[in-house]
Structure 1
Amino acid sequence: MNIEEFRDYCLNKKGVTEAFPFDESTLVFKVLGKMFALSGLNQKPAAVNLKCDPERAIELREEYDGIITAGYHMSKKHWNTILLESRLSNKILEELIDHSYNLVVSGLSKKLRETL
């Protein structure tokens, strides 16, 4: 998956917006105002940060050593950095995006979840 495909997949989810809140090269995706994915657009190789359950994050880092690492400039417990154009299949990457999105949605207030 390349960065454009990643962007399209994120934007097709309900309630998602994109913005550059930190600088002009860090693209952030939010669901109802809460961040679930981000990517440095000038980063080579292309990589994204996704929120992850802490136990699953450790398992993924072990299984995909060098492709999935502790979140760069993020909480190492709750975020992973994933190399986009790697041996990781689009299906797995989509599952990780969905997992990140769902974690954030589950943490929203009942009222906000109902707006989705």
Structure 2
Amino acid sequence: MIERTFDSGAQNERTALAWTRTALALLLAAVLATRLAAEPLGVLAVAFGAVTAPLAVLVLLMARRRYRRAHDALHGERALPDGRLPALVTLITGLLAVLEIVYAVIG
């Protein structure tokens, strides 16, 4: 149970909210990109959506876990969470870019 913030500026809480907004934006981008590319790209666009939308939801779940781990680490003077969450966001962003390039070339 999280009882109090580590600092008065609530940096960990603000960071958690930023990760949540990022995850929701990625989910929306994945759904919209899939929808826009569905007609010209067909099955490729649907496969893209089937991969990226769950990954965006995974970002949301990982962000929540990262907040709890960071909170525990700050209060226990342990190491902060690793870079898996930023790496996953980078992967999803790269996949979105590839889909948009393919859409621009074919569509």
Shorter-normalised TM range: 0.3 to 0.5
Larger RCO, structures 1/2 (Cα 8 Å, 6+ apart): 2
Q: Which has the higher strand share?
A: 1
Q: Which has the higher helix share?
A: 2
TM normalised by structure 1 equals 0.32
